[in-house]
Amino acid sequence: MKNKTINKQFSPELDCNKSFDKIKRLETALKEKEDQFLESQKIANFGFWEIDPVTQKSTWTDGVYKIVGLENKNEELNYFVLNEIIHPLDRDLFYNAKDEVLTIGENVELDIRMRKTDNSWCYVHIIAKPKKDKTGEILGLRNTVQDISDLKKC
C-alpha cells in the first residue's frame, strides 16, 4: 500500500473567510451575553460599578443609573457624585468598606441608603471586591449593587 501525501496549499481567501465567520460568531455570542446581562439587571434590579482610586472616577452600568434614577449616562461619575447620593449616616460605612477592600484586598458586603433623583432614599446591598492585576496588585474597586428597598420594608 502506497503512502499518499496530501499537499495542502495555503489559501488566503479561505483563511480570511474562516476568520471572518469566527469573528461574526463571537460578536453574536458577545451581543447575546450583553443582552442577557441587561435583562438580568432589569429583572433583579441590580447594577455594577467600578472605581479607580487614582482618578476617583467610577463607571456604572445601566442598572446602577436606574436604581438611583439618573438618566444622563454621560455624566462624569466620581466620588463627589457618590458622596452626594450616599446617605450622610452611611458615608463612613461606605468609605471604610472601600478602604478595607483597597488595603486588605478582601470582599466586603454592606447595606447603605442612596438618594434617588426624586430625593427619596433606596436601600442597596453592595458586594465590593478588589480589582487585581495578574500579580495580585489591587488596581481598583468593583461593586455589585442591588436595590433591596422592598426587602427592608418587610
pTM here is 0.75
pLDDT beyond 60 at 114: yes
Asked if the structure places residue 104 within a domain, the reply is yes
In this prediction, residues 133-143 reach a mean pLDDT of 92
In this prediction, residues 11-18 reach a mean pLDDT of 64
In this structure, the answer to whether residues 49 and 38 fall within a common structural domain is no
Asked if the structure places residue 119 within a domain, the reply is yes
Select from 152, 89, 99 the least CA-distant residue to 125.
152
In this structure, the answer to whether residues 142 and 121 fall within a common structural domain is yes
- Tell me which of 125 and 46 has the higher pLDDT: 125
Widest CA span in the chain:
86
In this structure, the answer to whether residues 30 and 57 fall within a common structural domain is no
By the 8 A CB rule, do 123 and 147 touch?
yes
pLDDT beyond 80 at 6: no
pLDDT in tens, 87-112: 999 999 999 999 999 999 999 999 99
Which pLDDT band, with edges at 50, 70 and 90, does 76 fall under? low
3-state secondary structure (DSSP) of residue 82: helix
* Backbone phi and psi for residue 59, each to the nearest 5 degrees, phi listed first: -120, 125
Name residue 126's beta-bridge partners: 110, 145
Please, what is the end-to-end C-alpha distance for the chain in angstroms? 82
In this structure, the answer to whether residues 33 and 72 fall within a common structural domain is no
